Structure 1
Amino acid sequence: MKKIFKSPQIIASLLFLVVFALISCSSSDDSAGDEMQEEEEMLGDTDYDISAILSKFEGTGLSYAVNGNTVTFTTADLPNHTSPYWPTNNPLYEAYNGTNSSWNKNPNEIAEQNIVFTITLNPKEATSKQATPLGPIGISRNGVVFFNQYAGPDQPLTNEINSFDQYLGHPTGRDQYHYHIEPTYLTQEFGEDAFLGLLADGFPVYGPVENGKTITNSDLDVYHGHASVTPDFPEGIYHYHITSEDPYINGNGYFGTSGNISR
């Protein structure tokens, strides 16, 4: 039988590599564990207060009033930017000048609405999650309403996207203007990492960038959000992110409990 001899230097080197690998794995696991613990602590926090961001809401025909632990937004749902969907005699009328070569104007126009949201100032995770409805599911900081990822019951936006104007909004058959996907007027105006509005459960909506990184669906949970620190909430808060892929704004429903929406 042939004996194999290993020098003390080789044995020492092998032991060093094994110890280094164990320390690296432990360090990586600890880092991931710390991140998960931080997010769990934020999710478990029942003291969220969104009062500080209300001053960021400003738009034509948009107002809000605080009553106890709720805020009531009343919006005329009129965008503060140009669009081919304004009547041609409106100063904000502008022919389509976006980048969609398949753009196809729908037959509707922008018209004044009366939409009222009553939203909690202290959002928290709902015990039983509810799907978002068709129609308004939240309000952007310029007063235009957010819609979910469907063109109709379980119908994707595939064809409807071709009717979005240069700022990626369009009106319904009842002339109700809305955003299904990134409201590029707002991200151009305030930044791709900016606060963009609230969903009806009180949790904020942010743009597609966070800490210099473009957020993808894989970074978010099934409701299309996560808990982390934001410029507006230095202690951290659960929030939604707009991304470039379906479901765009919201996933499997509200993370919190929806307030009342009337129109």
Structure 2
Amino acid sequence: MKYLILIILVVLSFSSISAHEGGHGIPLKQWELATNKLFKADFIKYENDEVWLLDSDHTIRIFQISDFSDEDQKYIKNKSEYIHSLNTNTTIESGSQSFSSYNGALIGLGIFLLCFSLFKLIKQKKSIYLIHGVLGLGVVLIVSCKDTSIPKTGRREVPSNDVSLMQTYFGKFEGVTTRSDENYLYVSSNGLPDHDMMVGITNWQQQVPINQDYTGDNSWAIPIHPKMAEHPLSTKTNLLKGAIAVAVNGIPIFNPLNNRGEDANAIGELDNWGGHCGRADDYHYHLPPLHLQDQVGTGNPVAYAVDGFPVYGETTDTLDAYLGKTNPDGSYQYHTIKEYPYFIAGMRGEVQLDPKTKAPENQVYPQPRTQELRPALRPLRGAKIIDFKSLGENSYALTYSLDSKEYTINYGWNSAGTYTYEFINPDGTSTVETYKPRQK
């Protein structure tokens, strides 16, 4: 009878070995939908809020993450993070285990002791050999019973930003200043780039670029100690308001999608430099400003995302789902591509969201404030901006064509903050509008 019990224990130990995750013969996971419906399937992937599963008929089934129970949503996200960590050299917490070759060697030793014990008991019928069996069984159980379910993916530690190096990039542009504290690098500017603007826009809402007060407490803040987000935010379904990055020339970069969810570049809203003006006549980019590489140098970042990670130009390296990559030293960086989503497909780092906003029109908090000077105007259908030039300090001229005729807006502001706009018609007549200083 005791030999039969020992044989059963050996069989059970082999079963425990073959039952580690990824082995054959594992039952399909049971899933629960928010409607309380249950079904069984294997997890394949989670991407863009879609969950891919393989059922018992080997049919791929696609669901929205919101279709699942809270418990299954947590499982899906943890599983996805773990799979992503394997593909990006994510450091797994030391408490989690995998079925390593070292564990395999221990299992082999345990099986050997079990077999040796069984053989001796059958041949010589001496109970002393039970010690070998117990020892072997103990080794097998200890190793094979370790948790081989989804390892906990720790938030990968990434190096802090080199503040001095960051300041050299921003310092290449006149009028851009920086300061730092223990947590942030603060970037100050007047919101106007040193290149021409607006030319090439064919879908224009009649805004023109004016200065902004991105200084003091209203500066852009870039984290010095970025952290990897447990659940990165897709920029397709989030952050349609506010900036997601700051260019090294002090100009904010918004989501490539406008606040209506349209590709601003594809519908003609952007100029030849990838930017345009918002409702507050605030100039900003919607595309990564690769033209800045001429000033910062190829191979250097053209911007920093508001999660603290740098944005570089194009690369031949393999990028992850967020259009970024992890470097050997553990640092992370975004890159750009030619088509939508162009850059930062998802906010890989941790950010705080403005509680007053809701997805998709949410934004990272805090954001520097802009204040509307003129009433918001409607799109001028058929207009195309054909020229923009400086007329002197704080003075500009914008020319657009409409119905084969040219119109010009001469505008500027004085030291007291009074803004004057002269609208010149094709026949030479004009009207003037004046706006008093903005309230702070």
* Structure-2-length-normalised TM-score: 0.41
- Matches of 1:163 and 1:124, distance apart in 2: 34
User: Which residue does the alignment assign to 2:178?
Assistant: 64
- Matches of 1:188 and 1:254, distance apart in 2: 27
Distance 1:36 1:187, change over 3 A: farther
Q: Give deviations 1:3-40, integer Å, cap 9, x for gaps.
A: xxxxxxxxxxxxxxxxxxxxxxxxxxxxxxxx967732
Q: 1:226 aligns with which of 314, 325, 328?
A: 325
Structure 1 segments (4+ residues) deviating >4 Å: 35-38
User: Which residue does the alignment assign to 1:193?
Assistant: 299
Distance 1:245 1:193, change over 3 A: farther
Q: 1:108 aligns with which of 207, 213, 224?
A: 207
* 2:251 is aligned with 1:144: yes
Alignment of 1:118-137 (within 5 A): 118-130=221-233, 131-137=238-244
Alignment of 1:1-263 (within 5 A): 39-41=89-91, 44-51=156-163, 52-58=165-171, 59-83=173-197, 85=198, 96=199, 103-104=201-202, 106=204, 107-115=206-214, 116-130=219-233, 131-157=238-264, 159-160=266-267, 162-209=268-315, 213=316, 219-228=318-327, 235-258=329-352, 260-263=366-369
- Matches of 1:76 and 1:165, distance apart in 2: 19
Partner SS, residue 253 of structure 1: strand
**Greater RCO between the two (CA within 8 Å, min separation 6)?**
1
Partner SS, residue 189 of structure 1: helix
Unaligned runs of 5+ in 2: 1-84, 93-154, 353-364, 370-440
Question: Would the aligned equivalents of 1:119 and 1:260 in 2 still touch at CA under 8 Å?
Answer: no
Letter in 2 for 1:172: G
- Matches of 1:46 and 1:65, distance apart in 2: 22
Question: Would the aligned equivalents of 1:186 and 1:196 in 2 still touch at CA under 8 Å?
Answer: yes
Letter in 1 for 2:246: I
1:251: Cα distance to partner? 1.1
Unaligned runs of 5+ in 1: 1-34, 86-95, 230-234
Distance 1:257 1:120, change over 3 A: same
Percent identity over the alignment?
24
Question: Would the aligned equivalents of 1:57 and 1:142 in 2 still touch at CA under 8 Å?
Answer: yes
- Matches of 1:187 and 1:227, distance apart in 2: 22
- Matches of 1:60 and 1:110, distance apart in 2: 18
- Matches of 2:332 and 2:168, distance apart in 1: 20
- Matches of 1:222 and 1:49, distance apart in 2: 23
1:135: Cα distance to partner? 2.3
Q: Give deviations 1:57-103, integer Å, cap 9, x for gaps.
A: 033442221112322222321111123x3xxxxxxxxxx4x7xxxx5
- Structure showing greater radius of gyration is 2
- Matches of 2:175 and 2:251, distance apart in 1: 10
Partner SS, residue 187 of structure 1: helix
Letter in 2 for 1:149: P
Distance 1:156 1:249, change over 3 A: same
- Matches of 2:86 and 2:231, distance apart in 1: 22
Question: Would the aligned equivalents of 1:149 and 1:250 in 2 still touch at CA under 8 Å?
Answer: no
- Matches of 2:174 and 2:209, distance apart in 1: 13
Distance 1:125 1:223, change over 3 A: same
Q: Give deviations 1:75-134, integer Å, cap 9, x for gaps.
A: 321111123x3xxxxxxxxxx4x7xxxx52622211111232223211010234344341
1:187: Cα distance to partner? 2.9
Question: Would the aligned equivalents of 1:182 and 1:248 in 2 still touch at CA under 8 Å?
Answer: yes
User: Which residue does the alignment assign to 2:27?
Assistant: none
Question: Would the aligned equivalents of 1:60 and 1:78 in 2 still touch at CA under 8 Å?
Answer: no
Question: Would the aligned equivalents of 2:290 and 2:302 in 1 still touch at CA under 8 Å?
Answer: no
* Structure-1-length-normalised TM-score: 0.65
1:250: Cα distance to partner? 1.6
Q: Give deviations 1:124-166, integer Å, cap 9, x for gaps.
A: 1023434434121221111111111211232232544x24222
RMSD between superposed Cα atoms in Å: 2.8
- Matches of 2:225 and 2:285, distance apart in 1: 25
